[in-house]
């Protein structure tokens, strides 16, 4: 059986959590490989709703969850999330969750710097979640990060904090923000160590054994391709690489272990925060999409911007993200519209593009080129087979496939985990 990697094919919030949860029934291990607690997955299981930020979604299915080295971990947020879902009945112990011992930690000073920088930008804010993700990745690249393994070495941790605070307190003071005291930070981290270290191990070794034994691994990405720090709408992006190749480096496996890549895309398009969004709607249709889709960020609670499906954008994500097939979600939100539009390209200063250029000015100037399709009568909500879909809805899906140059291999027709149409099993050989 092949491994599977799941990534977002738009700007995040595509419904990856439900799809990961659904596919986890076919997997043995579920691995988070990048991002931090700025990501949010909502899983609806019967009358229970689980909101996960750091925990791998497979835990809801009783699968072994792994947080890879590519994730930046806020230990306080992680432990609070474990307590919250445990109260809902999930079993999260060192037997069900493992954490890479070389993963970078997010500390309170990272969130403070994140917030101070956004405040200093004023009207030019990037729209970060303010949770310290970017500054933590900066420290990782600059080789001054505190990692999970450092919690087991108090003397080494103390030395690391000296360098870290020299850097961050200088920046915070320059931005007019409060600075941090080493003694308190050291005490707080050492107090967290006994609670976090039982979960820690070199997860690359466990994954190597799983690969040898033929276990099926599901790699779970956060955010989406168009928020990738290299390939997204820079600078309005996240601080990590969100493409499928990161599953290898972010969990300690070879690139051959990534397996089939499933990209998740809504049947329309949404975005949280600032940045270009060519197919965004500012009228009643956009408002209707938001209301019917319950479009509020899982992590931030912010209202999502809504617009028509952007096939040019998703085609770009397919190419750079390594996507083999699409899971199309929230098709039911489009029920009852008289007509639907699909973005097929952009007009930028009189020139036609089939992709979003890398330059920020060009992205901001992009005007969508739309193709109009007839809507459908009847409901797609809860459909579990193609036969239950209106003919015009099938035409819409087929047109999406043509434009993005990738097959729709899975279709989600409601938030319920079993309201899913499987065209082809990504785990099949």
Catalytic residues: 13, 41
In angstroms, the Cα distances linking 159 to 53, 132, 155, 172, 407 are 30, 22, 6, 20, 52
- Separation between Cα atoms, residue 412 and residue 27, nearest integer Å: 19
Size of the chain in residues: 429
For residue 213, give every residue at least 6 positions away whose Cβ sits within 8 Å of its Cβ, in sequence order, or none.
none
Exposed / middle / buried, residue 31 (Cβ in 10 Å: 0-12, 13-18, 19+)? buried
Exposed / middle / buried, residue 13 (Cβ in 10 Å: 0-12, 13-18, 19+)? buried
- Separation between Cα atoms, residue 388 and residue 382, nearest integer Å: 9
User: Are 111 and 129 a contacting pair, CB within 8 Å?
Assistant: no
For residue 183, give every residue at least 6 positions away whose Cβ sits within 8 Å of its Cβ, in sequence order, or none.
none
DSSP one-letter string for 374-386: E--SS--TT--SG
User: Are 318 and 405 a contacting pair, CB within 8 Å?
Assistant: yes
Q: Encode 388-408: b = buried (16+ Cβ within 10 Å), e = exposed.
A: ebbeebeebbebbbebbebeb
Give, as one character, the DSSP assignment of residue 349.
T
CA 36-217-63 angle, 5° bins: 75
DSSP one-letter string for 225-284: GGG-TTTSSTTSS-SS--STTHHHHTTT--GGGG-EEEEEEESSEEE-SSS--TTB--SH
Paired tokens of 420: 């899913």
User: Are 266 and 292 a contacting pair, CB within 8 Å?
Assistant: no
For residue 184, give every residue at least 6 positions away whose Cβ sits within 8 Å of its Cβ, in sequence order, or none.
none
Give, as one character, the DSSP assignment of residue 296.
B
Which secondary structure element, helix H or strand E, spans residue 326, and what is its range? Answer: strand 325-329
């Amino acid at each position: 059986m092949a491994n599977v990697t799941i990534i977002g094919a738009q700007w995040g919030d595509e419904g990856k959590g439900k799809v990961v949860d659904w596919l986890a029934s076919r997997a043995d291990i579920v691995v988070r490989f990048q991002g931090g607690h700025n990501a949010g997955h909502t899983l609806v299981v019967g009358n229970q709703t689980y909101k996960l930020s750091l925990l791998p979604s497979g835990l809801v299915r009783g699968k072994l969850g792994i947080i890879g080295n590519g994730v930046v971990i806020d230990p306080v947020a992680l432990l609070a999330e474990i307590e919250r879902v445990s109260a809902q009945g999930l079993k999260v112990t060192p037997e069900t969750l493992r954490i890479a011992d070389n993963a970078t930690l997010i500390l309170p000073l990272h969130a403070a710097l994140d917030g101070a920088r956004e405040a200093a930008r004023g009207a030019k804010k990037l729209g970060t979640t303010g949770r310290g993700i970017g500054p933590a990745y900066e420290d990782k690249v600059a080789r001054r990060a505190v990692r999970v393994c450092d919690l087991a070495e108090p003397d080494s941790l103390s030395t690391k904090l000296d360098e870290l605070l020299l850097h961050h307190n200088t920046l915070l003071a320059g931005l007019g923000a409060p600075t941090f005291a080493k003694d308190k930070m050291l005490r707080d981290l050492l107090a967290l160590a006994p609670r976090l270290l039982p979960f820690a191990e070199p997860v690359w070794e466990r994954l190597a054994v799983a690969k040898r034994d033929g276990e099926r691994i599901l790699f779970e990405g956060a955010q989406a391709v168009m928020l990738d720090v290299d390939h997204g709408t820079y600078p309005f992006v996240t601080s990590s690489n969100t493409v499928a190749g990161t599953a290898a480096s972010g969990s300690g496996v070879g690139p051959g272990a990534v397996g089939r890549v499933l990209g998740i895309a809504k049947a329309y398009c949404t975005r949280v925060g600032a940045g270009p969004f060519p197919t965004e709607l500012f009228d009643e249709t956009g408002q209707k999409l938001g209301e019917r889709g319950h479009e509020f960020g899982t992590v931030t609670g912010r209202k999502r911007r809504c617009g028509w499906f952007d096939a040019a954008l998703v085609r770009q994500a397919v190419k750079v993200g390594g996507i083999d097939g699409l899971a199309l979600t929230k098709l039911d939100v489009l029920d009852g519209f008289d007509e639907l539009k699909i973005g097929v390209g952009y007009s930028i200063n009189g020139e036609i593009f089939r992709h979003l250029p890398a330059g920020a000015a060009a992205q901001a100037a992009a005007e969508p080129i739309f193709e109009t399709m007839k809507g459908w009568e009847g409901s797609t909500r809860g459909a579990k087979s193609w036969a239950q879909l209106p003919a015009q809805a099938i035409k819409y899906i087929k047109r999406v496939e043509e434009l993005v140059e990738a097959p729709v291999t899975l279709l989600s027709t409601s938030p319920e985990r079993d309201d899913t149409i499987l065209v082809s099993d990504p785990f099949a050989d």
